[in-house]
Structure 1
């Protein structure tokens, strides 16, 4: 009995490992579910399970990528006022050995899980390769770093489509890309304003005015493409356009007035109106698609 580890002691050991996986960032993987929503297949239980399984695999894959990134940046993170405390490796609450064990464990789960969905596995492999390139090179290159971040969201949508074996939507891809470019540009803006050039090396090659123009252009184009998609292909969903517009306005408010936006996930978790806007949009889309019996697997 003396060898049994008390639950609170076990939890205290697991907590840093869980933080290393950055579960708060898993909300980004909700993009994997976008094809499920717009195809109308959310009414099919089997398809829902496929989409959720693909989302879980993407969550574990993204966590593995975060671990690699943290291992690579550990010395730099130790010099950062916030990351030195929030990143387990930089803070010393997780050893490099434990991080490697966790990384191997996640990799094994993703590999085995991908056997049931080879198409999704191929997308995950592409995501891993792209992010390795980002960690070791592309995050130091201006513009390329923003597009790499945005491309990760496009791959999430593509993985969702592959899981459902549904046609790929050009509309959905370009809208997702522009939305992600907007979020990435805002992130760089807030990093510049809050940390200056100390946050990351690539910030030396940006200015606040430049990334603001990137963000404004991306937001405008994302709204235009989404509106064109709705009006031309799914006119019954036109009621969702004002909700999306409000979401953009509210996010800019959080960024400018509440100094959020350095982490889009933190901005979402901290603002009730953003959370409510997202919930209203999802429920409204699902209701309109269900009412109009839009259950054909056609994302176009």
Structure 2
């Protein structure tokens, strides 16, 4: 349950805490990391404020804004770590975020059918068919972008190393298909539970990590 909506946290306390953190977060990012990280954190705060004030009431835009929030956080992490972010990483992360957000909304809509007073008002403006289309489209875009990234790197001259990057497509695709099982059953309402508790998904994630690590190491 959401703390403020459920009454566990008073509205005044939430506003006060949010205002303090909105000032401290960019300042801490600039002090501990760099200006780019602070700008990303500031952009994230503006995005969230716009969402809370108005954008959460706009069909489709609400999905895009929530997904963009995950993408901005990934960008901020790259800035903070000083790691260059490829265009394919950004595309994959963006579609991946939209996939999980739309699958979550789809699961909520199916699970709470007929209980419009107990869920987000905008959620009932969607149809299950539309949200299913969105998460399927996002899943396809994510897989395509990842495959393009994996195939982008050529083989270094003078050798034929094992194509670890290309092989990493297999566990990546299996992980997407595994998560899609829960989405199709309208069981993706809590993405964190699926990601952290589903053993087959964890195994495919581990396999992907190993292959990706070997690709980075250039073995």
CA–CA distance in structure 2, aligned partners of residues 160 and 91 of structure 1: 31
With over 3 angstroms needed to count, the CA separation of the structure-2 counterparts of 1:120 and 1:272, relative to structure 1, is same
Contact 1:171 1:229 in 2 (8 A): yes
CA–CA distance in structure 2, aligned partners of residues 133 and 106 of structure 1: 17
With over 3 angstroms needed to count, the CA separation of the structure-2 counterparts of 1:124 and 1:263, relative to structure 1, is same
Deviation at 1:109, TM superposition (A): 4.3
Structure 1: 5+ residue stretches without partners: 1-85, 293-300
Q: Larger relative CO (CA 8 A, sep 6+): 1 or 2?
A: 1
Deviation at 1:208, TM superposition (A): 0.7
- CA deviations 1:223-277 (Å, max 9, x no partner) are 11101110122653111111011111111212334x4212322322332222232
CA RMSD of aligned residues (A): 2.2
- CA deviations 1:181-224 (Å, max 9, x no partner) are 11111112111101134421222321111111111111112111
With over 3 angstroms needed to count, the CA separation of the structure-2 counterparts of 1:160 and 1:94, relative to structure 1, is closer
How many residues matched?
206
Q: Give the alignment's TM-score, normalised by structure 2.
A: 0.83
Query: In the alignment, does 2:30 pair up with 1:110?
Result: no
SS of 2:210's equivalent in the other structure is: helix
CA–CA distance in structure 1, aligned partners of residues 125 and 2 of structure 2: 25
Structure 2: 5+ residue stretches without partners: 155-162
Contact 2:195 2:201 in 1 (8 A): yes
1:251-270 to 2 correspondence within 5 Å?
A: 251-257=179-185, 259-270=186-197
Q: Give the alignment's TM-score, normalised by structure 1.
A: 0.62
Contact 1:260 1:266 in 2 (8 A): no
